Amino acid sequence: MMRAEAGAAKNTIAAYGTDLRLASEVLGGRLGSAGAAELERLAGEWQPLARATVARKAAAVRRFLGFLADEGLRADDPSAALPRPGTARGLPKVLSVDDVDRIFATIAARIERVPADPLDLRLAALVELLYGSGLRATELVSLPRNAVAPDRPFLILKGKGGRERLVPISDRARAAVAAWRDHVAVGRPFLFPSGKAHLSRVRLYQIIRALAAEAGIPPDRVSPHVLRHAFATHLLEGGADLRALQAMLGHADIATTEIYTHVDSRRLVELVNSRHPLGEALVDARARRP
């Protein structure tokens, strides 16, 4: 149902499955027949967990029990007994432009090494697409071999929920992809192959963290998703329209995109202090004080 009716992504379905199996273990395998008392016990087991984790687990169980009731597999739906803690959306980790410059300088130094290592070309293509186009990790590693065309400054992706979006591809990114693709066998289906499939998200995470350490940036500050955040943050700082950013990131709800407006707060304060007439008057007044 999650796949056919809700259009949920494979990773979402896997996460729901894990949460449901763990909940069932707590209730001795009786999740499908659980009543309000059992669900309250389940909520008690979740109490030490973070609020966002509890919200996710409760949503999975709530959806499952609702499905059973809709299909006539049980007569009631006791999911009202599940907690609704809500989620406090945290601010994303942010890389400065200087941080990104250091990352790309490290990549450039690796590419210039003799003898050349094709994996350095792969690294350049990965980072150019993460930071230059804001791709999600899963979208990036599963790109088909010919997804990025040398004469087309965009690609069309199917992201979360099966939603399609147009993603701009910079000249730099297309050049980096072209240089790497020369080292990918013509018969391979993926742009970033590994074994019989494609590079895994876990391996991508490891590659990006190792690159951060090499660039002198604490590895815990950098991940594929942080580079996606940097793409959005720096575009917004540069004056990008929030709706355009929503489309590029593939957010279904603009409220998700609005989290990036926190970036402008510091810049706006500086702008008011340096450019607003009242700000200048206050500075002059302070200067005239004895």
pLDDT, tens digit, 9 for 90 and up, residues 41-83: 998 899 888 888 888 899 899 999 988 988 889 999 998 888 8
Mean pLDDT of 233-249: 75
pTM of the full predicted structure? 0.64
**What is the Cβ-side half-sphere exposure of residue 152, based on CA atoms within 13 angstroms?**
9
260 in catalytic set: yes
- % pLDDT > 90, the chain: 39
Catalytic annotation, pick one of 63, 74, 93, 160 = 160
Cis peptide before 218 (omega within 30 of 0): no
**Nearest in space to 38 (alpha carbons), one of 61, 69, 14:** 61
229 in catalytic set: no
102 in catalytic set: no
110 in catalytic set: no
Could you say which of 3.30.499.10, 1.10.150.80, 1.10.443.10, 3.40.50.12780 is the CATH number of the domain covering 97-219?
Answer: 1.10.443.10
Catalytic annotation, pick one of 122, 198, 234, 251 = 251
pLDDT at 229: 84
136 in catalytic set: yes
Q: Where are the domains of the chain?
A: 10-81, 97-219
Where does 10-81 sit in CATH, by number?
1.10.150.130
251 in catalytic set: yes
pLDDT at 179: 94
CA distance 17 to 11: 10
Catalytic annotation, pick one of 62, 136, 209, 229 = 136
| Interacting residues of 142 by C-beta distance below 8 A, sequence separation 6+ | 190, 198
